[in-house]
Amino acid sequence: MVMAASETKFHVLAVDDTLIDRKLIEKLLKTSSYQVTAVDSGTKALEFLGLNNNDHHDVEVNLIITDYCMPGMTGYDLLRKIKESSSFKDIPVVTMSSDNIPSRINRCLEDGAEEFFLKPVQLSDVNKLRPHLMKRRTQTNVNKRKSMDEIVSPDRARARYNELEVK
Amino acid sequence: MDLVQLQRQLVDYRTSLYHEGFLDEQFTQLQSLQDENNPDFVVEVVSLFFEDSERLLNELSKALEQQVIDFKRMDAQVHQLKGSSSSIGAHRVQKLCIVFRNYCEAQNVEGCLKCLQQVKHEYGIIKTKLESMFQLEQQILNAGGSIPV
């Protein structure tokens, strides 16, 4: 897959263990002209991103929106994993929950979530995503231009590998 | 009944569902998300709600029949039911789930049993009402009319 940045639609990865809510969030996002991939667990989200293998990921995800309460890996666990990953920490993450628990909300925001939406999520909430995506796109384009320059010579390629964090 | 009468009946019926607290604004949002690309969106989501609810209500009934009641598991199931009812705007069911969760937390068997009965009752009502509403909509469509917003 070519790593060209898609200048058209942003790609959002939605994570929710309930089918109804997945269907809803998918519709809300598509209505707002986002490309959507919906998965039913944090584990599947990480698999989709390619976090579980050491190859360079070949899908571009511009934002992750995740439910908080999920069996196994919670949305908070997923948030932490994303933020601790050198490859993915810059992807904005938004958490959602049907429970209004201030300590939960604060913890997510403090640990890197851009927003916390109370369910049921509204179109007005989804509208809040765009600024986070636009901000990153500008940043990503700058980074991509830099890394494309580095592919030119083997010496430069070696320098790139040295920069990659060994986990 | 002619088309105009059918449409008027639908509007009145829908309005009454909101006034009587069966549905809230979330249902309106669902309807606003439906379009030509997804003409059955509301029916699909509501059908998922029916399936989910019936499964959960069955599991809750079984849970309360056990010798040792797993309140934690029940709470998780009521949480799910609360979530899906809130997602479609089934207001009364959602409100009852909040009370139900409190009883689960307090490990109050009597309270849980009573709540379960109430939730089953309210669920039955909203299911019947939504099905009637969809039937009315279908009649309008069959008569060549469009669904009034």
**Does a structural domain hold residue A1?**
no
CB neighbour burial string for B44-59, b if at least 16 within 10 angstroms, e if fewer: ebbebbbebbeebbee
Q: Domain of A112: which CATH number?
A: 3.40.50.2300
How high is the pLDDT of residue B37? 87
Taking only the tens place, the pLDDT of each residue in B14-33 is 999 999 999 999 999 999 99
Taking only the tens place, the pLDDT of each residue in B78-113 is 999 999 999 999 999 999 999 999 999 999 999 999
Q: How far is A25 from chain B (nearest CA, A)?
A: 10
**Does a structural domain hold residue A4?**
no
Query: Over A52-82, what HEC string results?
Result: CCCCCCCCCCCEEEEECCCCCCCHHHHHHHH
Q: How far is A124 from chain B (nearest CA, A)?
A: 11
Name the β-bridge partners of A96.
A67, A117
| Alpha-helical segments (H) within chain B | 3-19, 25-33, 41-65, 71-88, 91-105, 109-142
Inter-chain touch A98–B83, beta carbons under 8 Å: yes
Residues of chain A neighbouring B86 (CB-CB closer than 8 A): 98, 119-120
Residues of chain B neighbouring A99 (CB-CB closer than 8 A): 79
**Does a structural domain hold residue A134?**
no
**Does a structural domain hold residue A130?**
no
Inter-chain touch B48–A69, beta carbons under 8 Å: no
How high is the pLDDT of residue A160? 46
Inter-chain touch A120–B29, beta carbons under 8 Å: yes
How high is the pLDDT of residue A58? 63
Please state whether A166 falls in left (phi above 0), alpha (psi between -120 and 50) or beta.
beta
Residues of chain B neighbouring A120 (CB-CB closer than 8 A): 26, 29, 86-87, 89
Q: CA distances (Å), B123 to each of A19, B19, B26, B127, in order?
A: 19, 17, 17, 6
Taking the CB of residue B76, how many other CB atoms lie within 10 A of it? 15
How high is the pLDDT of residue A157? 45
Inter-chain touch A18–B86, beta carbons under 8 Å: no
Whole-complex ipTM: 0.91
CA angle in degrees (0–180, nearest 5) for A143-A144-A149:
100
**Does a structural domain hold residue A49?**
yes
Interchain CB contact of B102 with A (< 8 Å): no
Q: Specify the higher pLDDT residue, A3 or B41.
A: B41
In angstroms, the CA B130 to CA B17 distance is 9
pLDDT at B139 over 60: yes
Q: How many domains does chain A have?
A: 1
Taking only the tens place, the pLDDT of each residue in B45-84 is 999 999 999 999 999 999 999 999 999 999 999 999 999 9
Residues of chain A neighbouring B32 (CB-CB closer than 8 A): 123
Inter-chain touch B45–A24, beta carbons under 8 Å: yes
**Does a structural domain hold residue A154?**
no
Tokens 């607290």, located at residue: B21
Residues of chain A neighbouring B27 (CB-CB closer than 8 A): none
In chain A, which stretches have pLDDT less than 70?
1-7, 51-58, 139-167
How high is the pLDDT of residue A147? 61
**Does a structural domain hold residue A85?**
yes
Interchain CB contact of B41 with A (< 8 Å): yes
How high is the pLDDT of residue A156? 47
Inter-chain touch A27–B41, beta carbons under 8 Å: yes
Nearest to A72 by CA among A118, A104, A40: A40
Taking only the tens place, the pLDDT of each residue in A9-35 is 899 999 999 999 999 999 999 999 999
Q: What is the pTM of this model?
A: 0.84
- Residue A65 sits in which domain range? 11-125
Residues 6+ apart with CB under 8 A from A29: A12, A14, A36, A65, A126
Residues of chain A neighbouring B80 (CB-CB closer than 8 A): 18
Domains of chain B: 3-32+41-142 (1.20.120.160)
Q: Which of A20, A120, A123 sits opposite B52 (nearest CB)?
A: A20
Inter-chain touch B52–A19, beta carbons under 8 Å: yes
**Does a structural domain hold residue A89?**
yes
Inter-chain touch B52–A98, beta carbons under 8 Å: no
Taking only the tens place, the pLDDT of each residue in A79-96 is 999 999 998 999 999 999
